[in-house]
Structure 1
Amino acid sequence: MYMDPKLQAAPQRSRVTVMQGMVETTDQSDVVLTTVLGSCIAACLFDPIARVGGMNHFLLAEPNSSQTNADTHYGIYLMELLINEMLKQGAAKSRMKAHIYGGGNIHKNMQPIGQRNSELAERFLNTENIIITHRDVGGSNARRVDFLAALGKARCRHVDGAAAPAAKPTPIPVKAVGDVEFF
């Protein structure tokens, strides 16, 4: 786990939460991009010369072969979007560096979604010749990531599964239409 002690100082920093399907970029050194991950991946990219950085948060690696387009759920789309947004702010792809976080396989009996997500992020960055300077992926814990994007500094904290609140199913109201009941 990489923890930059400088992230703990300076309470005047602005925090921007990056939720699933989002990309955020900034050239402001006082902005912290933050997210919480399970099987999702957050790719944190930065250009140390332009002092521009950003974070994405994706739920799935890429659409299956029967789907014709990728959207904000997919890493393949959000990785491209993150790079393009950084280029608009003056970054150069040849100078970009990356950190990747998440990809945990939180539920042991489910498919290894987290592993697929982290494999996609690494493969994508390698193909684009973007150096991965830090990675904290895999395992079975959730993570909280704070990223001073313009400076390329990050803090990643693991959340033990026992410390996380238990999932509570939310009842969905049933609507009756004519003689057919949807549930």
Structure 2
Amino acid sequence: MKKPTGVSEVVLAPGQVSFAARPTRLRTLLGSCVAFTFWHPQRRIGGMCHFMLPARSRRDLALDGRYADEAVELLLGHARAHGTTPQDYQVKLFGGGEMFPEQRRSLPAQDVASLNIRAALELAEHHRLHLAAQDMGSTGYRTILFDLWNGNVWVRHQPMGTLDRHA
């Protein structure tokens, strides 16, 4: 499907959640963070979150997209606000790349990437979400492009220690 005219592009920073009901391209850059993409194939609507940490110990009144559990709650809220159920969405997971693999042995409790991956998979199971695809783990960063008009997600993974010839 060709790119529709008038497509808006949204770049998500860490901690942001975006949901759109019109042709939109969502974009983000992930290291140890993880992104969920939600796409409703019949309605051609959806969203993405970019979370940094699995959860926080203290909950404030407002949900905070920096944390996996709260970012997913925000996406689920958007889905319900559009008259859909979360189980109607194709869900994809990306990210969780180790950014400092040389420190893994000396600081195992600081392995944020693995903690984020585990949190994402547990949340998907807990909410009975249909996982259509995932690309998580390894090292390095991922550039994510998500086209809401057709549900395609494009991923460019740059592992640590390799040169990016397209930069």
Sort the TM-score into its range (normalised by shorter chain): 0.7 to 0.9
Runs of 4+ in 1 over 6 A off after TM superposition: none
**TM-score (norm. length: structure 2):** 0.83
* 1: CA distance, partners of 2:67 / 2:112: 12
Q: CA deviation at 1:78?
A: 0.5
Q: What is the count of residue pairs matched by the alignment?
A: 154
| Pairing 1:97–2:90 present | yes
2: CA distance between counterparts of 1:17 and 1:134?
21
Aligned to 2:38: 45
Please report the TM-score for the alignment, with normalisation by the length of structure 1.
0.76
2:123 is matched with: 124
8 Å CA contact 2:50–2:65 kept in 1: the answer is no
The residue aligned with 1:82 is: 75
Whole-Å Cα distance in 2 between the matches of residues 71 and 52 of structure 1? Answer: 22
1:47–1:53: 8 Å Cα contact kept in structure 2? yes
Contact 1:87 1:93 in 2 (8 A): yes
Tell whether the 8 Å contact from 1:50 to 1:90 is kept in structure 2 after alignment: no
2:66 aligned partner: 73
Unmatched tracts of structure 1, length 5 or more: 1-5, 165-183
* Paired letter, 1:121: A
Cα RMSD after superposing both structures: 2.0
Q: Kindly state the Cα deviation for residue 72 of structure 1 after the two structures are TM-superposed.
A: 3.0
| C-alpha distance in 2 between matches for 1:10 and 1:48 | 16
Tell me if structure 2 keeps the 8 A contact 1:52–1:91: no
Note the 1:138-149 alignment, pairs <5 A: 138-149=137-148
| Paired residues of 2:65 and 2:74 also in contact (CA < 8 A) | no
- Mark the structure with the bigger radius of gyration: 1
Letter in 2 for 1:28: R
